[in-house]
Structure 1
Amino acid sequence: MNDTVSSSKALADNRLAKVVKFIQSYPKFIRGFLLNFVIRKTVKLVGTAKIEVLKLTKDESIFRIQNRKKVQNHIGTVHAAAMALIAETATGMVVGMNVPDDKYLVIKTLKVDFMKRAVGSLTARANLTEEQRQSILSEEKGEVNVAVSVMDEENKEPIECTMIWAWTPKRR
């Protein structure tokens, strides 16, 4: 029984989750900088857009993108592609915290409906249910529709998204 518990615990902590846990051991004032540095270096477009990690756990992630010149469109709001990027980042990271290291994680569906003009910076919040997390850990391959909301500074949702992530075994 102890072997089962330890082996399922090993599956629960993949490389990304271990890095996040390690960063949590640092003093609070530097944690955000370190986590942003690691994620921005790993996912280059996230670094280019300077997307900021506000929270990253196995069941929730929160990311922010500032409305700044380099991510704006011609009318001075966050560009449509940057809106999709923040939703994709939030969903991908929360799934990434759960996918075992012997699996590849890929986005299968990225659907964005633009509902209204965004005001200011955007914050994306993505969640996984416990059932979804268990499915990721137990199924050799599968997919999950990740709930995500993107809010602007007026606390309104300028976009509605469908983000489906899939995982498959790595080939040797």
Structure 2
Amino acid sequence: MNNNKPNKVMALYKKVTGYPFGHKIFSKMVSRMAPYFSTVHPHIKSLETNRCEVLIKKRKIVQNHIGTVHVIAICNGLEMAMGTMAEASIPAHLRWIPKGMSVDYTAKAGTDILCVAQVTPEQWQIGDMLVDVKAYDSNGVVVVQGHIKLWISEKPQK
């Protein structure tokens, strides 16, 4: 991928977020591409090459029986952050598909949650790739951390 020219997803993000309510509009666009994401009403706070941040507001619909944000809702946010980051960052000759997720619950999620997916440029290689994912509460405490495993392969020749 030419690092000077953003891919379609990154170009769309930069264009749409230049408008009023642009982050909200872009978040809804991504949620429409993978409708299950919309169940947590995610908000993409930032997207840059190799990093994405998604906010999940603590609302009744995402809470568990003890009143904290349910870990499955958090995993949904982490997967959205990973997928958006991957689509906006992957070199043009490669493609990806998720293979698994491994997370640890490290603290109670009693506030809004910021889901972050991040890789380094060197990680974009053919084979298994681990995407670092972390979820933070409003105080910066990590409440969930782990990896989402992707399979990276060459795009078929056209």
TM-score range (shorter-chain normalised) is 0.7 to 0.9
Normalising to structure 1: TM-score of the pair?
0.78
The CA deviation string for residues 28-70 of structure 1, in whole angstroms up to 9 with x for no partner, is: x232122112112112111121011000111221111011111
Alignment of 1:46-61 (within 5 A): 46-61=37-52
CA contact (8 A) 2:40 2:77 kept: no
Compare the two structures and name the one with the higher helix fraction: 1
Query: What is aligned with 1:160?
Result: 145
Query: What is aligned with 2:30?
Result: 39
2:115 is equivalent to residue 124 of structure 1: yes
Q: Quote the offset at 1:9 in angstroms.
A: 2.5
Query: What is aligned with 1:15?
Result: 8
Gaps of at least 5 residues in structure 1 are 1-7
User: What is the aligned length?
Assistant: 157
SS of the residue 2:142 aligns to: coil
* Partner of residue 135 from structure 2, selected from 121, 146, 150: 150
Alpha-carbon distance in 1 for matches of 2:120, 2:5: 15
Q: Cα 1:146–1:127, aligned 2, differ >3 Å: closer, same or farther?
A: same
Alpha-carbon distance in 1 for matches of 2:69, 2:57: 8
Normalising to structure 2: TM-score of the pair?
0.84
Q: Cα 1:12–1:164, aligned 2, differ >3 Å: closer, same or farther?
A: farther
Compare the two structures and name the one with the higher strand fraction: 2
CA contact (8 A) 2:24 2:43 kept: no
CA contact (8 A) 2:118 2:132 kept: yes
Q: Quote the offset at 1:122 in angstroms.
A: 0.6
Q: Cα 1:155–1:100, aligned 2, differ >3 Å: closer, same or farther?
A: closer
Q: Which amino acid aligns with 1:161?
A: G
Alpha-carbon distance in 2 for matches of 1:158, 1:58: 24
CA RMSD after TM alignment:
2.4
Query: What is aligned with 2:101?
Result: 110
The CA deviation string for residues 90-140 of structure 1, in whole angstroms up to 9 with x for no partner, is: 2222122123566542112201111222111110122221322xxx3xx5x
Runs of 4+ in 1 over 6 A off after TM superposition: none
Gaps of at least 5 residues in structure 2 are none
